Structure 1
Amino acid sequence: MAAKGHVVDLDEATRYGQQLYLANMRQPRLKKRPADRPIGRRSKRAVSTAFVPPTSQQLQLLDVPHDPDGVRRQALTADTDLIRYCADVVRTHGTKHGWSKRQTNDVIASLRIMQVLQDTPTAKVNATDVEQLSRYGGNVGSTLEVLDAAGLLNDDRQSRTEQYFAAKTADLPAPMVEQLEVWLEVMLDGSSTAPRRQARDPQTTRIHILGIAPILHAWAANGHRSLSEITQAQVREALPESGSQRNFAEYGLRSLFGVLKSRKLIFTNPTAGMATTRVNATVPLPLDTESVRQALNSPNPATALAVALVAFHALTAKEVQNLQLTDIVDGRLHINNRNIPLADPVLSRLTAWLNHRAVKWPGSINTHLFVGMRNAPRLGPVGRQFPWTNTDLRPQTLREDRILQEIHTNGGDIRRICDLFGLSVSAATRYAGTVAHPDLEKT
């Protein structure tokens, strides 16, 4: 250090290195309160529209774990242009979706915590960073909604299918993984270029991955680095002997090699001309009538309505989950090009549920028929298990029971149950085969 009044010797000062400084380590100063601003009650502010996030971001130098208590303390005084802008968005969004005051305040507090955790406090926020708020008691779901509504969310999350794919292909050779990623993209997003393909259900993709993953690892262990090296003989040799695993593998490999051939990533399709193995179909069995009756009379109005919709009209669990309020008009259910007159027991339970919903969530603008604590202040559907967790019945077995009763009542009329329940001919044949079953015949 140079003496007072003397010029600093830079060579001497930097002889042992230079002092580096970390950016954004000091909290921004709070703006002074204007003298004419009232100090008691909070004055109303106009919604800010001038905030623009920076185009550059501070790169992370060190991955240092945060102290939860320290983060919460810093969040109490955090104040940036982004927080002030988002606070207005939170209030507008919360009023529109019927949020409580507590939920609104929780989201504002979560935004303050998020700013403390951000390397660049005023930049767009990654969705994966928002998911870390649960460690500090923050509200993840509603914070994601607000940031998305404000245009400040960078959604870098992977879907469950993508995470499952990454876990199953982590140890495969790089050329093989690149080919698989092309197939996965086509399966999830479809293709608008020739040959065009529609996107498949994520569950279908997961089943394909489940079937082909062991085979791919076996080929990689034998020295294959690319799927273009695989022959039809190797495909036949790698298939399981029988059962559902063989069926999953056959359909998965046909889909995989079909996409790669259409994208000209392999020379020939080794699964071309190969027949698929039929899986033995299970025999649908009737349910105990008393258990169905108890579920229909459940004290939970959502459970009673869901059970009634499946027990009387054989809706699938996905159809029940995604039902909209506008799908029911004048006592008729309009779904999948079907016009279904609702049975009287369904209508009475529908009225009870709508009355309960109006009292429980009067401010909800969610258009789905079924809402709960999680989705009432939002626009998405309920979870897959709602409201079946309140009963021992499963929607698929209840649906099979309804179709089974119908096929036995009409004497095996396949065309009728296809029109009534929207089944394919092959699916209807599975139920028609039970008409002559000695254990299922009516006495």
Structure 2
Amino acid sequence: MCNKCQRRRVAWSKPRVDFCYHCLPGGPFTPPPCARCGSTTDYFSQGLCQRCHPRAPEKIGSCKDCLAWGVFPQHNFLCWTCRWWRTHYPRGVCDYCGRDTTVGDQGACRLCLEQARMLQEPGRALDLAGANKHGQQLFFANMQFQRFNTRRAELPPRRVNNWKTPGGWGRPGPPPKRLALDEWVQPTLIDVEPDPERLLQRALIENSELTRYCAPIVREHAERFGWSKKQRNDVVRSLRLLQTIRDSPTAKIRASDVLVLPRWGGSIASALDVLEAADLLIDDRPRPLELYFTTRTAALPPVMREQLETWMNVLLGGATSAPRQRSRHPLTVKTHLRSVVPAVTAWADAGHQSLAEITPAQVRAALPEAGGSQRALAERGLRSLFKTLKARKLIFANPARGLKGTQLNGTVPLPMDTALIREHLNSPKPVIALAVALVAFHALTAKEVSELLLTDIVDGRLTLDGRVIPLAQPVRERLARWLDYRQQKWPNTQNPYLIVNQRTAPRLMAAGRTYPWQQAGIGPQKLREDRILVEVRATGGDARRLSDLFGLGIESTNRYVDTLGHPALTGEDSQVPGTSTPT
């Protein structure tokens, strides 16, 4: 101690100085910084601070027994627990780390025992040898930390319905007013297929902000679209599964993740509707045309594939820069692709790597030899392909320039078998009977049948494109039977369309042009042509009447009128079995 103030340590002990820096003659003086850590405060002695001097009372070190950091010299560098150990256990050599220290009843020191407790699995005994095989994890001294409860393995959770509560429909707790979403999401490095059993168990007890946030939306959709209890429960289960399998709990949900839900008992369409209404959906589903393009062009060289992809994108989206081009319907683009891919594949098999290598002779050689629609479609597709590539400066010359088109022969509409029509008119399925009756009696197109609304038919009259069509009595009978079946099958549906099915009844969308014709096995266009041919025979080819009655254009009307003098439809041998010659 300083001989003068008797409070602070002497400035130096070697060489001996009996005063501190504050009491030195001529002082006080500012103590120098610590020679070890550079601290300018808490100077102790011998050029070191209180944290660095080995004899300072606040010198921090490691516990002598468990090596925990954060003990002081005043307790002989022992933590609280090791001080208790020294009074209850003898000193010896640890069986697992080999140190000479205090050893407990299991032959292990406290460091090895804490390491085993840290790695202990619930329901399992301590594995001292396995836990200390590769070393120990050090820790801070005198810290109160919670150990794992080593209770017995629990039984699988009971299947309880936590979605319904006495206070109302929804998950326990009020739904959040706003859902916090992260703009950036860490992508998955390795996709691992989840265990179905564990996934379903977690989904049963899942309770997150996503499901609570979507609960009012699910309830609103169920009431609006007339969902059944089963469908509503399927949507709830789908939301739980999505919350369980998605990578980040604060990220939006990709539509591709929803598409895999049926393997675990989830639904797709209704879940997508709910997520889209909640603004939580990222629609990354590839379009059918893109899937078709990927499948048909997978074996092509990269350059050819890029050229075809550029052509397809221009057809779908159009071009606003010169040369400008209008966008095409996806069905038109698919038709062009279907007609062009065989020729491009043949060129790739011949060793060509780019469409810039193709000559006019090769273009003509790639066309189908037989005339007709296939050759005409191939000519149109190749002309469009090379014209677009030349405009985008991806090829040097257009090899399809000057290619003459093949003249298509017009088709002659033919009557159908009356017995076949009568069979479908009397079908036991009300939807088939109604659809066939609408076309067989009033010559509606498949598009018009699928887009008919319930409000289009009033008092037995159909309003269609400004035309008022009185429905025939057989059509009215089948319409009444279908409406009764529709009300019985889907009593709560809010779909405004006349014809619905299991997929469209809980939504506000049309059933599609192919329903129910694929199920019936009869073509609506052939049925429509048969009805128009009957009217042509009955009116003697009155073009004005045909145009007003069926909404036909000039070319279409002439196509049917020309059948009056066609030799294939005038002779007795040309009659279709089951039909009768009009009188």
Query: What number of residue pairs does the alignment pair up?
Result: 414
Alignment match, 2:67: 5
Q: How does 1:23-62 map to 2 (within 5 A)?
A: 41-43=166-168, 48-62=176-190
Q: Distance in 2 between matches of 1:195 and 1:412?
A: 46
Shift of 1:264: 4.7
Residues 1:119 and 2:181 are matched in the alignment: no
Displacement of 1:276 in angstroms is: 1.9
Q: Post-superposition shift, 1:434?
A: 3.0
In the other structure, the counterpart of 1:257 is 386
In the other structure, the counterpart of 2:369 is 241
Asked whether 1:160 is paired with 2:275, we answer no
Name which of structure 1's ranges 363-372 and 39-48 shifts more when overlaid on structure 2.
39-48
Q: Distance in 1 between matches of 2:424 and 2:274?
A: 38
Deviations 1:357-391 (A, max 9, x none): 33432322222221112111012221444223553
Find out whether 1:411 has 2:548 as its counterpart. Answer: no
Question: How far 1:308 moved relative to its partner?
Answer: 1.6
Q: Which moved more, 1:239-248 or 1:162-171?
A: 239-248
Greater displacement, 297-306 / 83-92: 297-306
Per the alignment, do residues 340 and 175 of structure 1 end up closer, same or farther by CA in structure 2, a change over 3 Å counting?
Answer: farther
* Counterpart Cα distance in 2 of 1:313 and 1:371: 20
After the TM superposition, which of the residue ranges 402-411 and 84-93 deviates more from structure 2?
402-411
Retained in 2: the 8 A contact 1:47–1:89? no
Residue 295 in structure 1 maps to residue 424 in structure 2:
yes
Q: CA deviation at 1:192?
A: 5.4
Q: 1:375 maps to what in 2?
A: 504
Separation of aligned partners in 1, 2:227 and 2:547: 44
Return the offset for 1:179.
Answer: 2.5
Q: Deviations over 1:266-324 (max 9, x none)?
A: 45443333222234444432122232223223343322221122112222223322333
Tell me how far apart the structure 1 counterparts of residues 403 and 470 of structure 2 sit (CA, whole Å). Answer: 46
In 1, Cα distance between equivalents of 2:208 and 2:406:
62
SS at 1:435 equivalent: helix
Question: For the Cα contact (< 8 Å) 1:53–1:124, is it kept in 2?
Answer: yes
Q: Give distance in 2, aligned partners of 1:407 and 1:263.
A: 50
Tell me by how many angstroms 1:418 deviates. Answer: 4.7
Q: How far 1:163 moved relative to its partner?
A: 0.6
CA distance in 1, matches of 2:378, 2:241: 47
Q: Given residue 403 of structure 1, which amino acid in structure 2 is its aligned partner?
A: I
Shift of 1:332: 4.8
AA partner of residue 5 (structure 1)? L
CA distance 1:419–1:206, shift in 2 (3 Å) = farther
Matched-pair contact (CA < 8 Å) for 1:414–1:429: yes
Q: CA deviation at 1:57?
A: 1.8
Whether the 8 Å contact between 2:427 and 2:433 is mirrored in structure 1 is yes
**Could you tell me how far apart the structure 1 residues matched to 2:534 and 2:165 are?**
69
Q: What secondary structure, in the 3-state scheme, does the structure 2 residue paired with 1:434 have?
A: helix
User: Which amino acid counterpart does residue 143 of structure 1 have in structure 2?
Assistant: A
233 and 326 in structure 1: CA distance in 2 versus 1, 3 angstrom threshold? farther
How far has the Cα of 1:194 moved from its partner?
A: 5.8
Offset, 1:230: 3.2
Find the aligned partners of 1:141 and 1:433 in 2 and give their Cα distance.
Answer: 48
1:170 corresponds to which of 282, 298, 320: 298
RMSD between aligned residues: 3.1
Specify whether residues 334 and 190 from structure 1 end up closer, same or farther in structure 2 by C-alpha distance, changes over 3 A only.
farther
Q: Separation in 2 of the partners of 1:398 and 1:273? A: 40
Question: Is structure 2 residue 252 aligned with structure 1 residue 129?
Answer: no
Q: What secondary structure sits across from 1:363 in the alignment?
A: coil
> Does residue 341 of the first structure (1) align with residue 341 of the second (2)?
no
- Pair 1:98-2:216 in alignment: no
Deviation at 1:124, TM superposition (A): 1.0
Question: Percent identity over the alignment?
Answer: 50
Give the C-alpha shift of residue 258 in structure 1.
3.5
- Map of 2:128 onto structure 1: none
Q: 1:428 to 1:233 in 2, by over 3 A?
A: farther
How many Å separate the matches in 2 of 1:351 and 1:75?
45
Partner of 1:182: 310
Question: Cα 1:349–1:159, aligned 2, differ >3 Å: closer, same or farther?
Answer: same
2:332, 2:489 → 1: CA distance? 37
Secondary structure at the counterpart of residue 341 of structure 1: strand
For the structure 1 residues 231 and 325, does the alpha-carbon distance in structure 2 shift closer, same or farther, using more than 3 Å as the test? Answer: farther
Is 1:161–1:202's contact at 8 Å kept on the other side of the alignment? yes
Matched, 1:285 2:414: yes
Which of 312, 316, 322 is 2:441 aligned to? 312
Mapping for residues 11-22 of structure 1, pairs under 5 Å = none
- Greater CA radius of gyration, 1 or 2? 2
Q: CA deviation at 1:422?
A: 4.2
In structure 1, the partner of 2:35 is none
Greater share of helix residues, 1 or 2?
A: 1
CA gap 1:191/1:319 in 2 versus in 1, 3 angstroms? farther
Residue range with higher mean Cα deviation, 48-57 or 324-333: 324-333
The DSSP-based 3-state class of the residue aligned with 1:377 is coil
Are the counterparts in 2 of residues 212 and 249 from structure 1 also a CA contact under 8 Å?
yes
Over 3 Å counting, the alpha-carbon distance change for 1:304 and 1:75 in structure 2 is: same
TM-score (norm: length of structure 2) = 0.64
Partners of 2:334 and 2:220 lie apart in 1 by 39
Amino acid at match of 1:395: P
Relative to structure 1, the CA distance from residue 272 to residue 405 in structure 2 (aligned partners, 3 Å threshold; closer, same or farther) is farther
| 1:340–1:204 CA distance, 2 compared to 1 (3 A) | farther
Which of 189, 196, 201 is equivalent to 1:73?
201
TM-score (norm 1): 0.82
Q: Distance in 1 between matches of 2:323 and 2:361?
A: 27
Greater length-normalized contact order (CA 8 Å, ≥ 6 residues apart): 1
Partner SS for 2:563 = coil
Gaps of 5+ in 1: 9-15, 20-38
